[in-house]
């Protein structure tokens, strides 16, 4: 079906969350399929190790509020994770029913429980009794919020600095609304704030001196600063290529996109999950969308289920195609000139290296070119004076960075393959544990009060 006739109309419908919520009886029916495995593989596979059979059983008995609490006990951002986690690769991929039957729809059940909890018990936890320690969390993405919430539960005075006008990190700005509406991310931010966490938006930690200064005002600093913008591309007319994250953010905030109104033909460069997300937005807005990738489908970094989703959405793929130049007419994008590639010898990553085919240039006519080729990492200038591991902030197994009283976690420390929201949440928990353990070792009598919960 062509969707071009919807260009310029309200996008809230096309971009609305694509999975409907479960009705109560649907959730109970799905929950009742669960075998309630002991020491269950889904729980092992979840990076935050939620007691999945436990919460599913609670849904089946009608204790949906309890189910939500079971989830949040292990993962404060359970509502976001329920929507964005690549469950096929995690819990659901490990379900014992995956071979003989359909795996349990763990993500959707988790959404049912966390949404219910948010509606009946919006404040499931109380701030722990003050323990006299203060922590600065830099960045309010999943890693930062998770650490902030866990620390507040234990009585730490937590302050968050967030560079952007809204808190929530990529859950607020980067995850397409089809998967997670912005309200869900902002709802979690609000819950963390009501736990007594002070969030200062439009406030950035600038550099090494700023970190040194912060360490004089806070007992500990947790850096959860994520990654940077999409890097510029070394091709002619690069200044005409939109940053994919910026493109998605505009859709997420439901802002009209000036480029997009005329953009009937969109080319997205890259083949990771972000590329598919950007392409999905363009497609849902009515564009004819082509993803340009210099290797083949087999080498795509996007999850296979994401690739299949894109095909179902009607997104075209131009494989073995390398962009060379953005062609403009009267200052407007008119097309992307590309070279055909062929696969040569394997490179360092083990994937066969694409090599250009001489004289194979062709023009893909389009109105908008979006780049989605990953995010910029850290360098000596941007790492707050901390040691680096490649383009990430270096940490030890307890997430301690190279400077005393500084911890780091989330995308800032993680090689991109495994980077995901739930890994960031787990890092936040680990950092909170590590910070707690640190102060306990500094002053063992200083046993922090565990944060109680009611509900």
CB 241 within 8 A of CB 247: no
* Residue 276, CA distances (Å) to 33, 115, 293, 299 in order: 32, 27, 11, 15
Is 417 an interacting residue with respect to another protein (CB under 8 A)?
A: no
Of 159, 250, 421, 434, the residue at the interface with ligand FAD (CB under 6 A) is 421
Is 28 an interacting residue with respect to another protein (CB under 8 A)?
A: yes
**CB of 423: closest distance to another protein in angstroms?**
8
Q: Which helix (H) or strand (E) segment is 325 a member of?
A: strand 321-329
The option from ligand FAD, another protein, none interacting with 28 (CB < 5 to 8 A, set by class) reads another protein
**CB of 206: closest distance to ligand FAD in angstroms?**
7
How is residue 201 written in tokens?
A: 């938006």
Is 120 an interacting residue with respect to another protein (CB under 8 A)?
A: no
Measured CA angle at 412 (ends 410, 414), to 5 deg: 70
Contact region with ligand FAD (CB under 6 A), list: 60-68, 127-135, 396-404, 417-425: 417-425
**CB of 62: closest distance to ligand FAD in angstroms?**
30
Of 37, 186, 190, 204, the residue at the interface with ligand FAD (CB under 6 A) is 204
CB neighbours (10 Å) of residue 130?
Answer: 13
CB neighbours (10 Å) of residue 209?
Answer: 10
φ/ψ (deg, to 5) at 160: -115, 130
Is 377 an interacting residue with respect to ligand FAD (CB under 6 A)?
A: no
Is 225 an interacting residue with respect to ligand FAD (CB under 6 A)?
A: yes
Which 29-58 positions form the footprint of another protein (CB under 8 A)?
A: 29, 32, 35-41, 43-47, 49
40 or 189, CB closer to ligand FAD? 189
108 or 295, CB closer to another protein? 108
How is residue 393 written in tokens?
A: 């902030």
- CA-CA-CA-CA torsion for 12, 168, 63, 56, nearest 10 degrees? 90
**Coil/strand/helix, residue 301:** coil
The option from ligand FAD, another protein, none interacting with 45 (CB < 5 to 8 A, set by class) reads another protein
CA atoms within 13 A on the CB side of 298: 6
79 or 224, CB closer to ligand FAD? 224
Size of the site for ligand FAD (CB under 6 A): 37
Is 50 an interacting residue with respect to ligand FAD (CB under 6 A)?
A: no
Is 353 an interacting residue with respect to ligand FAD (CB under 6 A)?
A: no
Gap between the Cα atoms of 234 and 352, Å rounded: 22
How is residue 266 written in tokens?
A: 């969109």
Is 144 an interacting residue with respect to ligand FAD (CB under 6 A)?
A: yes
The option from another protein, ligand FAD, none interacting with 47 (CB < 5 to 8 A, set by class) reads another protein
Is 75 an interacting residue with respect to another protein (CB under 8 A)?
A: no
46-71 in b/e burial notation, b at 16+ Cβ within 10 A? bbbebbbbbbbbbbbeeebbbbbbbb
The option from another protein, ligand FAD, none interacting with 44 (CB < 5 to 8 A, set by class) reads another protein
DSSP 420: -
Gap between the Cα atoms of 96 and 105, Å rounded: 12
The residues of the shown chain that bind ligand FAD, judged by CB under 6 A, are: 84-86, 138-144, 161-164, 169-170, 174-175, 179, 204-205, 224-226, 245, 248, 273-274, 277, 410-412, 419-422, 424
Residues that bind another protein (CB under 8 A): 28-29, 32, 35-41, 43-47, 49, 60, 88-90, 92-100, 423, 426, 430
């Amino acid at each position: 079906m062509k969707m071009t006739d919807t260009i310029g109309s309200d996008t809230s419908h096309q971009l609305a969350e694509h999975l409907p919520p479960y009705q109560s009886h649907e959730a109970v029916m799905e929950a009742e399929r669960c075998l309630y495995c002991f020491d269950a593989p889904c729980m092992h596979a979840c990076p935050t190790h939620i007691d999945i059979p436990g919460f599913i059983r609670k849904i089946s008995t009608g204790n949906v509020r309890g189910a939500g609490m079971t989830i949040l006990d292990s993962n404060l951002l359970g509502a976001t994770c329920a929507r964005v986690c690549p469950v096929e690769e995690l819990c659901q991929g490990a379900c014992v029913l995956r071979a003989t039957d359909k795996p349990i729809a763990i993500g959707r059940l988790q959404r049912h429980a966390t949404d219910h909890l948010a509606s009946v018990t919006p404040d499931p936890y109380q701030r722990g009794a003050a323990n006299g320690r203060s922590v600065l969390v830099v960045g309010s993405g999943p890693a930062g919020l998770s650490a902030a919430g866990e620390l507040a539960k234990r009585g730490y005075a937590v302050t968050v600095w967030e560079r952007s006008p809204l808190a929530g990190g990529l859950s607020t700005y980067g995850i397409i609304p089809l998967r997670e509406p912005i309200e869900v991310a902002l709802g979690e931010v609000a819950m963390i704030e009501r736990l007594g966490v002070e969030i200062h938006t439009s406030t950035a930690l600038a550099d090494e001196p700023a970190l040194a200064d912060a360490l004089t005002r806070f007992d500990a600093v947790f850096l959860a600063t994520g990654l940077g913008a999409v890097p510029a591309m070394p091709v002619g007319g690069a200044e005409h290529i939109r940053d994919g994250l910026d493109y998605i953010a505009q859709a997420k905030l439901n802002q009209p996109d000036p480029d997009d109104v005329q953009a009937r033909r969109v080319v997205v460069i890259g083949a990771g999950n972000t590329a598919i997300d950007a392409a999905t937005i363009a497609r849902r807005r009515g564009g004819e969308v082509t993803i340009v990738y210099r290797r083949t489908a087999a080498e795509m970094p996007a999850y296979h289920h994401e690739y299949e989703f894109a095909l179902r959405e009607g997104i075209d793929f131009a494989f073995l195609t390398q962009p060379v130049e953005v062609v403009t007419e009267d200052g407007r994008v008119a097309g992307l000139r590309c070279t055909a590639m062929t696969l040569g010898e394997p490179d360092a990553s083990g994937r066969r290296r694409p090599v250009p085919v001489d004289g194979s240039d062709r023009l893909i006519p389009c109105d908008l070119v979006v780049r989605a080729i990953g995010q910029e990492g850290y360098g000596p200038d941007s790492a707050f004076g901390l040691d680096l591991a490649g383009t990430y902030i270096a940490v030890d197994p307890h997430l301690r960075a190279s400077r005393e009283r500084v911890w780091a976690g989330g995308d800032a420390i993680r090689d991109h393959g495994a980077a995901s929201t739930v890994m960031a949440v787990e890092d936040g928990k680990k950092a909170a544990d590590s910070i707690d353990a640190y102060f306990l070792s500094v002053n063992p009598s200083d046993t922090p009060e565990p944060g109680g919960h009611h509900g």
